[in-house]
Structure 1
């Protein structure tokens, strides 16, 4: 992030990254309908991976029963409740949510060894809200890990700050995208790997109920937040949720993202070989 000029902008970008989580689901509910893509796996523990975004971190509660995977109802001094927004085809209902492992701060492979990555299990997780027609669901989560709670609360406050949302003019996103189009950035866990950030362009913003973009994604990116920039100074406050691809590819071509590599360095994967037509759903 050395090319980002101000500390405020670094914090905004850091909040994008910190609020993105990896989801590993070890259950396919019998309640999925017959026309569901995963209908054949109903009743099994076949593993799938996806991505989610932390949303609406509440102020901490004190001396309350905690239902995280470690406490199971024990009174704790301090706890945080927050939501994770993801695709409904990744986590269909509360039954699946309770069999979901949530990895936070999985930024690179070393995070697993040095303790920076934090993991939550689904004992205290339930589906709070869902939008079946938009492939979106909200999981309610809880943690009494004070370091974890304070870190995600800080990231959430940073994202909420209206002033911060106007401090992105020095990112130079237009250097990486077509001059007359709107940049779209996706933070995700492709194939369940450490976080990667990909960059593309907006195709259609109001093709209800979804938006279209060519930002590269892979299996495991489903449920990722889609950060769209209407101008270089302003982005979608409530991010659409990445759902899938129309399956259309164009002639293979290389695309150098020199600025992007400079900006995000260790988070960026290889250059894109195919241009995709992807879509995500608005849910607000």
Structure 2
């Protein structure tokens, strides 16, 4: 009789552990971090309300504003090249305001229940590069509609596939560049463009690359300058977030993840955390993944992950590993459920 009870208890423990594991890391319980807005309320007021009443990160004490980051943290880096590259990473991050949900989303999609509606959702993306200007062809932006030959620049924006699903959604997506503080909208520093089309998507890595175009010469030339800074940096350039005064020095095999995003649709914020685990094989996920405790909120979906680690020579480096896909657990307040993840390329 005792042996039977022991066997039953062992089975129960195995089932419970298996359930908890699947609850936190299976595809069923991945939770996107788009911020959902109503169709009628003013965006600024609703964004401010969601920021103030956030349950996941009350007070947002670990979220650093873009101006604060530039003025009080970047100056601590010893190398001007390092300061320029990190500033460029921040500058290339954009806010996405998606105003349509495609009818072609699958039945098991996060937003299948609102297909064909104008329910607004906010996310984050990053500009990957910018083309050389074209001045002898019609500009394909929505304003010109290929009817005016005009000098223009094209650039791809990387985000999560669950943020922008297809071209139908891309055409209804506003891309806000340089939304660094609340005054940017009033003084014209923020530039807003429309998505044009989806160039490619990946189900496995939850990624979408969307094309944007601008004929604003000042903006085009500014993006060229920023992208040259990023792509001209050395892969082995040493970085140590401890120099910034907001992350402890890395130990052996230690990695930090810096996320630049627009939580709750707010102006750009920077957060830093640690890599908790990585999966070389898919496991309960459909693709290799990276898990981290960097603070994020609704609105952070699609943000680029800047991962800092160590080379064999113990120099710090950084790279884009993937985009922020969401949090793992069902609860927004349970610390275990606040572990975030991105699916690797």
* TM-score > 0.5, shorter chain as reference: yes
Partner of 2:339: 277
Partner of 1:11: 84
Partner of 2:197: 126
Aligned CA-pair RMSD: 2.2
Q: 1:234 aligns with which of 298, 303, 317?
A: 317
Q: 1:46 aligns with which of 119, 124, 131?
A: 119
Partner of 2:85, secondary structure, is: helix
Partner of 1:69: 142
Partner of 1:133, secondary structure, is: coil
Partner of 1:172, secondary structure, is: helix
Greater share of residues in helix: 2
Corresponding position: 1:104 with 2:177: yes
- Residue 44 and residue 249 in structure 1: after superposition, are their counterparts in 2 closer, same or farther (change >3 A)? closer
Deviation at 1:6, TM superposition (A): 3.0
| 1:4-52 Cα deviation digits (max 9, x unpaired) | 2332222111111111000000001110111111111011000000000
**Unaligned regions of 5+ residues in structure 1, if any?**
253-273
- Residue 171 and residue 115 in structure 1: after superposition, are their counterparts in 2 closer, same or farther (change >3 A)? farther
State the alpha-carbon separation in 2 of the partners of residues 57 and 135 from structure 1: 22
Deviation at 1:135, TM superposition (A): 1.1
State the alpha-carbon separation in 1 of the partners of residues 109 and 128 from structure 2: 26
Q: TM-score, normalised by structure 2?
A: 0.70
Greater share of residues in strand: 1
State the alpha-carbon separation in 1 of the partners of residues 241 and 326 from structure 2: 30
Partner of 1:259: none
State the alpha-carbon separation in 1 of the partners of residues 247 and 87 from structure 2: 20
Partner of 1:187: 260
User: Rg bigger for which structure?
Assistant: 2
Q: Do the aligned partners of 1:205 and 1:212 also contact (CA within 8 Å) in 2?
A: yes
Partner of 2:219: 148
Q: TM-score, normalised by structure 1?
A: 0.84
1:205-224 to structure 2, matched below 5 A, reads: 205-207=278-280, 208-224=287-303
| 1:175-231 Cα deviation digits (max 9, x unpaired) | 614743211100000011000000000122444422111111100000000000112
Deviation at 1:171, TM superposition (A): 5.8
Deviation at 1:173, TM superposition (A): 5.7
Partner of 1:255: none
State the alpha-carbon separation in 2 of the partners of residues 6 and 191 from structure 1: 33
For these two proteins, the number of residue pairs brought into alignment is: 259
State the alpha-carbon separation in 2 of the partners of residues 27 and 69 from structure 1: 16
Deviation at 1:3, TM superposition (A): 1.6
**Unaligned regions of 5+ residues in structure 2, if any?**
1-73, 281-286
Q: Do the aligned partners of 1:200 and 1:215 also contact (CA within 8 Å) in 2?
A: yes
Deviation at 1:162, TM superposition (A): 3.5
Partner of 1:157: 228
- Residue 250 and residue 174 in structure 1: after superposition, are their counterparts in 2 closer, same or farther (change >3 A)? farther
Q: 1:245 aligns with which of 305, 327, 330?
A: 327
State the alpha-carbon separation in 2 of the partners of residues 170 and 86 from structure 1: 25
State the alpha-carbon separation in 1 of the partners of residues 105 and 250 from structure 2: 43
- Residue 108 and residue 60 in structure 1: after superposition, are their counterparts in 2 closer, same or farther (change >3 A)? same
